[in-house]
Structure 1
């Protein structure tokens, strides 16, 4: 049985009573409301994962609000999304993050010296969604829109530690086993073959550092599923690059005592897989590049580590050995459990990741500044009613969508002709 604890609290699933947790959280959420935030591209509506997520959320009595932060190219796509989520019983906000009304609000913010229009992607979607969700929720769970294995226990497990007052937890992070069926295969390449050996190598190069020990405490540091209190949401800078998950952990490290941080076991977990990419600007290679720069930046900011090219070269050498050792261990684990494992392919992958270290290191040494969206408290200092204005814009967008959808249904629904007797 696994009871292992580290710098942060690990909440294992040792056969927890889901019905008990559900009933308790449902009761508590009446006085401490909860929200689920899902950043999503319109394209996810066409895939089965998001349908599964929507249908499972319908049974989450402990979720008081749902916020969808949607990137849609056209009004028609947005209208379809509003219709898609219309079956949810919870009050639901489908936030068109690149729509005219939201863009206009961000332009007003830009005119006053705070430019969020320069940011694109998941970071801005998360930032906007947290603004709306924090208006009504005491705790917010966030996850991606591509989770194939999703069920209601995911938000339940993430939110429960935050609403159980005796725990004192303000941030919970998911960890899980990335394993597919037919064929059974290990996934999570960036975590297994890049982040894990990278952290170990950094410890060898720079010695004992509290931040590195903190990162090493997370069993799945790149999981996109977490929950946080609304207070923390308003005081957290959101990274705007592909290092969002690791960058967010750095913000939590700065803002919270370790005893207020937890990770929660979600069990077996699967979602769609990213391509490796043909260069360091694409796919998983770009993700690794941004992750390393984020970690190096935080080391300098929080641990006063002066990083040189000699450090980067040493890191690359150490990384190769650590990653190769891990592939042997993964092979043994996989063979024992009857899991398909291509050791050569794994070695090729880690060799590609190794090349990223030198490129990312050089980029960091040339420009150590990061790309982060200012926290909500700063935005509210500029426009105190910004969150309410965002919510009003969402409500107006959704009203337009419902009206248009009703008109479309009226036109496309054939009328019944009564034949006189």
Structure 2
């Protein structure tokens, strides 16, 4: 049995009583409301995963608000999205992030000195969603829109540990086994073939730094499924690149005591897979590039490590050896479990990722600052009613474009909101 604990709290699933936990969470959520954020491109509505997610959420009475951060090209796509989520019994906020109303608010914010207009992608979607959700919830979970294996235990496991006050947790991140396909095989190439060997190689280069020890405590550091308290949501900077998950862990590292951080087992998990890409600006290569830049920047910020071109060259050599050693271990694990495992494409992927290290290192040397969206406390200092204005955008968009009656036109006046 796996009892192992890390620097952070690891919450295993030893056959937990989900029904009992759900009843407890329903009780807790009456006094401490919960929300879920789903960043989504419109194209996700055309795939089966999001329909399954929506159908499972209809049974989650412990979730009080659902914020869908939508990127849609046309009004027709926006209306289709509203109709798609209409069966949900919860309060649903469709935040049309690139719609005219939201863009007008962001342009007003820019005119006051904080420019977020040019940010597009998951980072700004998450940031906007946290702002709206924090108006109505004390615990906020976030997950992607492309999860194939989704079931109601996912939001339950993410949210419950935050609301059980005696646990004292502020951040809860998912971990899981990325296995899928027919016949089944290992997925999660970036974690297995890039992040894991890079962290080992960085530890070899710079020693057991606290930040690297912290990252190595997460069993799946790139999981896009996590939950956090409202206070943490408002004081956390959000990376604007594809290094969002690693960058977010860096922010949690800065802002939260280790004893208030947890990870929880979601079991076997699968979602849509990215292509490797033809160069460092595409697919998984771009993701790896942004991840490494985030790692190097945070090492310098938190551990006072000076990164040189010599370090990058050494990192490439050590990375290749660590990654190759891991493929041998993955092979044994896969064969024992009857999974398909072809070491040749794994080795080819490692070679591609090694080239990304060189490119990312050069880019970091030229621009070490990176691109992050300021935390909400700074935004509220510029525009104190920004969250309320974004919520109004949600309500006015749905009223104007669909004619739906607003069952929940106002935030619950009894809910105590932080500034």
Q: Shorter-chain TM-score: which interval?
A: over 0.9
> Residue 266 of structure 1: SS of its match in structure 2?
strand
Q: 1:401 deviation in Å? A: 2.8
> Residue 280 of structure 1: SS of its match in structure 2?
coil
Tell me which residue corresponds to 1:339: 339
1:318-356 superposed Cα distances (whole Å, 9 cap, x missing partner): 000000000000001101111000111101011110111
1:68-126 superposed Cα distances (whole Å, 9 cap, x missing partner): 00000001100000000000000100100000000000000000110001211010111
* Structure 1 residue runs without a partner (length 5+): 406-421
Tell me which residue corresponds to 2:80: 80
RMSD: 0.9
> Residue 87 of structure 1: SS of its match in structure 2?
coil
Tell me which residue corresponds to 1:152: 152
Tell me which residue corresponds to 2:310: 310
For 1:308 and 1:140, the matched residues in 2 are separated by: 39
For 1:129 and 1:361, the matched residues in 2 are separated by: 32
Q: Which runs of 4+ in 1 moved over 3 A?
A: none
- Pairing 1:113–2:113 present: yes
Tell me which residue corresponds to 2:166: 166
Matches within 5 A, 1:46-195: 46-195=46-195
Matches within 5 A, 1:237-316: 237-316=237-316
For 1:345 and 1:249, the matched residues in 2 are separated by: 30
For 1:32 and 1:261, the matched residues in 2 are separated by: 19
> Residue 267 of structure 2: SS of its match in structure 1?
strand
For 1:205 and 1:118, the matched residues in 2 are separated by: 37
Q: 1:404 deviation in Å? A: 8.4
> Residue 166 of structure 1: SS of its match in structure 2?
helix
Q: Contact (CA 8 Å) 1:179, 1:268: kept in 2 or not? A: yes
Q: 1:363 deviation in Å? A: 0.8
Tell me which residue corresponds to 2:26: 26
Q: Contact (CA 8 Å) 2:398, 2:404: kept in 1 or not? A: no
> Residue 107 of structure 1: SS of its match in structure 2?
helix
Tell me which residue corresponds to 1:415: none
Tell me which residue corresponds to 1:330: 330
Matches within 5 A, 1:201-240: 201-240=201-240
For 2:119 and 2:184, the matched residues in 1 are separated by: 38
For 1:402 and 1:156, the matched residues in 2 are separated by: 31
For 1:365 and 1:393, the matched residues in 2 are separated by: 41
For 2:400 and 2:55, the matched residues in 1 are separated by: 24
> Residue 300 of structure 2: SS of its match in structure 1?
helix
For 1:144 and 1:159, the matched residues in 2 are separated by: 15
Tell me which residue corresponds to 1:363: 363
Q: Contact (CA 8 Å) 1:38, 1:144: kept in 2 or not? A: yes
1:394-415 superposed Cα distances (whole Å, 9 cap, x missing partner): 100011232289xxxxxxxxxx
For 2:219 and 2:208, the matched residues in 1 are separated by: 19
* Structure 2 residue runs without a partner (length 5+): 406-419
For 2:389 and 2:247, the matched residues in 1 are separated by: 28
Q: 1:45 deviation in Å? A: 0.4
> Residue 30 of structure 1: SS of its match in structure 2?
helix
> Residue 150 of structure 1: SS of its match in structure 2?
coil
Q: TM-score by structure 1 length? A: 0.95
- From the CA coordinates, give the structure whose radius of gyration is larger: 1
For 2:191 and 2:286, the matched residues in 1 are separated by: 14
1:356-411 superposed Cα distances (whole Å, 9 cap, x missing partner): 11110011011101100000000000110110111011100011232289xxxxxx
Q: 1:306 deviation in Å? A: 0.7
Tell me which residue corresponds to 1:394: 394
For 2:69 and 2:368, the matched residues in 1 are separated by: 30
For 1:384 and 1:79, the matched residues in 2 are separated by: 30
Tell me which residue corresponds to 2:385: 385
Tell me which residue corresponds to 1:418: none
